[in-house]
Amino acid sequence: MGHTRWLNDEEKRAWTAFTTAHALLYRRLEQRLKRDFGLSGLQYEIMARLSGAPDREMRMAELAGALVNSKSGLTYQIGQMEKSGLVRRRSCPSDDRAVFAVLTDEGMALLERAAPGHVETVRELLFDVLTPGQVRALADGLGEAARRMAEGPGATRAADDGSGCSGVGAEATADLGA
């Protein structure tokens, strides 16, 4: 066993603040989305990611990676959303193994109704209480941590299968997401 590098007091304070703020914010977002639109937070994020992608579609494997979700978990959510008419799946003509999730017009309309309240909640509970310098520090620090985790050991990436069916990478951002 190697030497454990315990968190110092400032690191403990930061870790506790991060985990608590994340849990409280996510809970409030989930409650509002479920109450007002019958959506989970993950379903909202799926629609937001798809809305920002060309033709409102992404390869399922790349969408799972962008959402930091398992492929099986995403498949389940897409199935539920498909039943509601919010998304549909399509295969690649040159490779049946490549499956795309496509945001339907109905899904886009629901996202357009849900987004203003979602963004307002994020703004009210997070960004309105921070100074511009704190927002920059938060974005810089968490962005660097996310980048290192995404590139480090255990990171998963969608492989290029050479099928000619290109998808949209994890860099797709949503116009309506927060």
- CATH code (residue 82): 1.10.10.10
* Length of the chain, in residues: 178
Label the pairing between strands 57-59 and 95-103: antiparallel
In whole angstroms, what is the distance from residue 40 CA to residue 36 CA?
A: 11
Res 48 pLDDT > 80:
yes
Question: What residues contact residue 107 under an 8 Å CB cut-off, 6+ apart?
Answer: 47, 50, 81, 85, 86, 87
Whether 171 shows a pLDDT value over 70: the answer reads no
Considering the domain boundaries, does residue 159 fall inside one?
no
Please tell me the pTM assigned to this model.
0.80
Domain assignment present for 57: yes
Q: Residue 117: what are its φ and ψ, rounded to 5°?
A: -70, -35
Mean pLDDT of all residues in 125-138: 97
Task: Give me the pLDDT at residue 164, please.
Answer: 53
Number of domains in the chain: 1
For residue 166, tell me if it sits in a domain: no
Residue 127 within any structural domain of the chain: yes
Q: Domain range for residue 118?
A: 25-151
Residue 10 lies in a domain: no
